[in-house]
Amino acid sequence: MRSLDLDQLRAFVAVAEAGSISAGAGRVFRSQSAVSEQLQKLESAAGAALLLRSRQGVGLTPAGQRLIGHARQLLALGELALHDVRNEVRHTQARLAISDYFRSDEIAGLLAQLGRRCPQLRLRVEVGLSAALAQGHAEGRHDLAVVMRTGAARERVATLPLRREALHWVAAPGLDLREESELPLVLLPPDCRLHGLAVQRLRAHRSAHRIAHQASGVAGLQAALRAGLGVGCLNASAIGPGLAIARSPRLPALPDCAFALLAPPADAPADLHEATAIVRAFFA
């Protein structure tokens, strides 16, 4: 059975990240001709072209895009194995931040998968509001961040899309709002994007409303909604047991929301890029 050569993979990753064969050769301390030869051998072993070559540099073919994540993982495991037999196990700190609205019941599964596939990672996880997480990522306090984006919000950095979800007005099943002169709202604090979106849509719809309960997190918000304290705004995957989509002429239509991953910079350790690929695949 044939296998992939680690030196060839290392040259491939270096060239892909540097954007040219000459720049990649400098990263692996080889001549340009030697790296070109390694890439040719790797493409021969893979049975497909991996790089698109042009005067502007190189880019990844579809096959190259599929291979690069595996290449980073194999290189990281090779380094881990070497350090392990030398009793010098290397650990990489990974600071992961996840929006409170995003599949909170699946976070444990993600952490278990990261632990199995990246045992060298030392994870620190924070769950919170997207605005604070995006700011923390921009300031270097988070390596990766899963954030919610609404139609009115745009991040200042490039993001990797994860999924889109519908937003709904949500309440306890059977909650009767007909006798309420002002709609009782159950929301997170004002710096929450869904708080701002809900209030903005109600004002534009000329629906009288009041804040009946302000929760500190999505779990508390869900509990308050189940208790019948009012109506709130949730993405589809956050509508758990004991909650139902609320329908009333007083409730305006809501847009979709999008979840995206703020990734580490290109020069971050390979372990963090591997974690990025795992998080993206897990939540896709």
Mark whether 82 and 96 lie in a shared domain. Answer: no
Residue 93 pLDDT: 87
User: Which residue in this structure is represented by tokens 């990246």?
Assistant: 118
The per-residue pLDDT for 157 is 55
Residue 82 and residue 100 in one domain: no
CATH number of residue 148's parent domain: 3.40.190.290
Domains in the chain: how many in total?
2
Of 128, 186, 130, residue with least CA distance to 153? 130
Residues 54, 109 share a domain: no
Task: Tell me the pLDDT band of 86, cut-offs 50, 70 and 90.
Answer: low
Q: Is the residue at 161 inside a domain?
A: yes
CB 167 within 8 A of CB 195: no
- Please report the pLDDT score of residue 267 as a whole number: 82
Q: Do 144 and 207 reside in the same domain of the chain?
A: yes
Q: Judge whether 258 and 243 are in contact, CB under 8 Å.
A: no
- Check whether 266 has a pLDDT greater than 60: yes
Closest CA to 252 of 198, 192, 191: 198
Q: Pick the last residue of a domain from 86, 112, 146.
A: 86
C-beta separation of 208 from 181 below 8 A: yes
Last residue of a domain, one of 65, 86, 107: 86
Residues 6+ apart with CB under 8 A from 7: 38
Sequence-distant (6+) residues with CB within 8 A of 178 are none
Considering the domain architecture, whether residues 66 and 115 belong to the same structural domain is answered as no
pLDDT-derived band at 208 (thresholds 50, 70, 90) equals very high
Q: Does the pTM of the predicted model rise above 0.75?
A: no
pLDDT confidence bin for 188, thresholds 50/70/90 = very high
The dihedrals phi and psi of 129, each to the nearest 5 degrees, come to -80, 145
Task: Express each pLDDT in 103-122 by its tens digit.
Answer: 767 788 888 888 888 877 88
Is pLDDT of 271 > 90? no
Segment (H or E) for 186: strand 183-187
Structural tokens at position 137: 């990522």
Looking at the structure, do residues 137 and 55 belong to the same domain, yes or no? no
State the Rg of the chain over Cα: 24
What is the dihedral sign for C-alpha 25, 27, 114, 262?
Answer: negative
Do 97 and 139 form a contact (C-beta atoms < 8 A)?
A: no
User: Considering the domain boundaries, does residue 194 fall inside one?
Assistant: yes
Q: Reduced to 3 DSSP states, what percent helix, strand and coil does the chain have, rounded to the nearest 5?
A: 45, 25, 35
Enclosing domain of residue 38: 6-86
What number of residues does the chain have? 284
User: How many percent of the chain have pLDDT more than 90?
Assistant: 51
Domain membership flag for residue 1: no
pLDDT at 153: 46
Q: Residue 220: is its pLDDT beyond 90?
A: yes
Query: What pLDDT does residue 87 have?
Result: 60
For residues 44 and 112, state if they share a domain.
Answer: no
pLDDT in tens, 130-178: 989 999 999 999 999 999 988 644 545 557 888 899 999 999 998 998 8
